[in-house]
Amino acid sequence: MAGNNGLSEKVHERGGRMTRQCRAVLDALASVDMHPTAAEVYEIVRETVPDISQGTVYRNLRRLVELGYAQELDYGPGASHFDASVESHCHARCTNCSKIIDLDIDSSLAPCLKEAQAAAKGWQISDQRIEFEGLCPECSEVNKSE
Amino acid sequence: MAGNNGLSEKVHERGGRMTRQCRAVLDALASVDMHPTAAEVYEIVRETVPDISQGTVYRNLRRLVELGYAQELDYGPGASHFDASVESHCHARCTNCSKIIDLDIDSSLAPCLKEAQAAAKGWQISDQRIEFEGLCPECSEVNKSE
DNA sequence: ACGCTAAATGATAACTGTTACTGATTATAA
DNA sequence: TTATAATCAGTAACAGTTATCATTTAGCGT
Ligand SMILES: [Mn+2]
Ligand SMILES: [Mn+2]
Ligand SMILES: [Zn+2]
Ligand SMILES: [Zn+2]
């Protein structure tokens, strides 16, 4: 399970060494479909590499981002979340439980955003981040009943 | 100068006490047109209240946000930025110098976003954050010449 | 105007997320 | 196999922020 999509080979191609720990971080991020924090990745990885250290998880996540195989979502307070899908896409974040989901709406937004970018005169825009925040279905249900 | 738009009265109405320090934080945020961090607000306030403590600045900024008279922008790494303008609007952030500017493009984006929100099925969306990131004119100029 | 009291303050400790350091391991190439 | 540089575990340091607590003070009743 959790095929890492050949990421280990890619990391290796870029001159990196493929250690047990690095592979475990890759696999953890690739196998989970949501948007784990470094601490959550650490917990997942500890199941297969019990004595890995938090620093190593941080180091490998950072490396993964630098190599362009993951993106870091540092919206909101608290910890960054990591996303194995690197193409730019929109998110919804729950203000109650911090859950993050993907929204596949880029095609409908693209033209508006192109136009909007023009407002930043003189800027060299390289990325955009569109995020909706509110209550996820579970949390809004709980809110309703109390 | 730096009329605080009656904010001190409003704070007072909500049961808060209007101290020298609180008023100074209000004035600082209202007088500055950009998006200062708590540390930057602290520096501004120290000019009029030299012995204010950082904790008090944080406390009053938080209160201001809770009362709905400011918003906190915690995109990106490092410190949060504070914004005296509370109506939802878009920002561009420089990845090099962390400068943040307002983009007045909500009118053109509104219809697309309305449509986009529908993709978050079952969610109770309460806010959206649209941010462009890249190099500001100054930083992209420097980049060009080196 | 004067005192009372809860709210707010200054100073500082604690806390969280993250990075830096250091000496020990270990993946890889020769 | 051996050499060596990358990576590791462990831990200290760091930045931003919040909590604690003894002291001050704003705003109210008198
Ligand atoms: Mn995503
Ligand atoms: Mn703004
Ligand atoms: Zn939720
Ligand atoms: Zn800049």
Q: Specify the CATH number for the domain of residue B125.
A: 3.30.1490.190
| Pair (A71, A16) in one structural domain | yes
**Is A1 part of a structural domain of the chain?**
no
**A78 contacts A117 by C-beta, under 8 angstroms:** no
CA of B58 to C1' of D18 (A): 9
DSSP A37: B
pLDDT in the model for residue B118 = 86
Contact between the CB of A51 and strand D at under 7 Å: yes
Distance (Å, rounded) from C-alpha A102 to C-alpha A107? Answer: 14
Residue nearest to nucleotide D28 (CA to C1'): B17
User: Per DSSP, what are the bridge partners of residue A90?
Assistant: A103
| Pair (A15, A66) in one structural domain | yes
**A24 contacts A8 by C-beta, under 8 angstroms:** no
Number of domains making up chain B:
2
**Is B1 part of a structural domain of the chain?**
no
| Pair (A61, A110) in one structural domain | no
Contact between the CB of B56 and strand D at under 7 Å: no
B117: left (phi over 0), alpha (psi -120 to 50) or beta: alpha
Distance (Å, rounded) from C-alpha B14 to C-alpha A27? Answer: 52
| Pair (B69, B98) in one structural domain | no
pLDDT in the model for residue B57 = 98
Mean pLDDT, chain A, integer: 87
Return the ∠ at Cα A140 (arms to A138 and A144), rounded to 5°. Answer: 120
CA of A55 to C1' of D13 (A): 13
Distance (Å, rounded) from C-alpha B9 to C-alpha B6? Answer: 5
**B86 contacts B68 by C-beta, under 8 angstroms:** yes
Mean pLDDT (whole number) for A127-131: 91
**Is A104 part of a structural domain of the chain?**
yes
| Pair (A95, A131) in one structural domain | yes
**B72 contacts B112 by C-beta, under 8 angstroms:** no
Q: Where are the alpha helices (DSSP H) in A92-136?
A: 106-117
Q: Which of A89, A130, A138 to mutate to test the interface with B (most CBs of B within 10 A)?
A: A130
User: Per DSSP, what are the bridge partners of residue B101?
Assistant: B92
A28-51 tens-digit pLDDT: 999 998 899 999 999 999 999 999
- State in Å: Cα A67 to ligand 3 middle: 31
**Nucleotide nearest the Cα atom of A59 (by C1'):** C19
* Joined tokens for residue A83: 């996303």
**Residue A12 amino acid letter:** H
Higher per-residue confidence, B139 vs A5? B139
pLDDT in the model for residue A1 = 37
**A135 contacts A94 by C-beta, under 8 angstroms:** yes
| Pair (A50, A95) in one structural domain | no
Give contacts of B 70-109 with A, CB under 8 A: 74-77, 80, 90, 92, 94-95, 101, 103-105, 108-109
Q: Which residues of A touch B92 (CB under 8 A)?
A: 120, 123, 125
| Pair (A70, A16) in one structural domain | yes
pLDDT in the model for residue B2 = 37
Q: Where are the alpha helices (DSSP H) in A32-71?
A: 38-46, 54-66
| Pair (B13, B73) in one structural domain | yes
Residue nearest to nucleotide C19 (CA to C1'): A55
Which structural domain, as residue segments, surrounds residue B12? 7-82
What pLDDT tens digit does each residue of chain B (146 aa) get? 334 556 667 777 777 899 999 999 999 999 998 999 999 999 999 999 999 999 999 999 999 999 888 999 998 889 999 999 998 899 999 998 899 999 988 777 888 888 888 888 899 999 899 999 999 999 988 766 65
Contact B142/A at CB under 8 A: no
Q: What residues are neighbours of ligand 1 (ion), with CB under 5 Å?
A: A 83, 102
**Is A38 part of a structural domain of the chain?**
yes
Domain-ending residue, one of B43, B66, B82: B82
pLDDT band at A6 (very low <50, low <70, confident <90, very high): low
The residue with tokens 């993106």 is: A71
Domain-ending residue, one of B82, B102, B125: B82
| Pair (A73, A13) in one structural domain | yes
**Is A2 part of a structural domain of the chain?**
no
| Pair (A77, A98) in one structural domain | no
| Pair (A54, A111) in one structural domain | no
Q: Report the residue from A103, A123, A136 with minimal CB separation from B136.
A: A123
pLDDT in the model for residue A146 = 55
Q: How many CB atoms lie within 10 A of CB A101?
A: 18
* Joined tokens for residue A104: 């596949």
Mean pLDDT (whole number) for A78-102: 92
Domain-ending residue, one of A82, A106, A125: A82
**Is B2 part of a structural domain of the chain?**
no
Is 60 exceeded by the pLDDT of residue A60?
A: yes
* Joined tokens for residue A117: 């970018």
A–B interface: beta-carbon pairs under 8 A: 129
Is 90 exceeded by the pLDDT of residue A92?
A: yes
Mean pLDDT (whole number) for A57-81: 93
**Is B17 part of a structural domain of the chain?**
yes
pLDDT band at A3 (very low <50, low <70, confident <90, very high): very low
Q: What is the CATH number of the domain that holds A14?
A: 1.10.10.10
| Pair (A72, A109) in one structural domain | no
**Is B69 part of a structural domain of the chain?**
yes
**Nucleotide nearest the Cα atom of B37 (by C1'):** D16
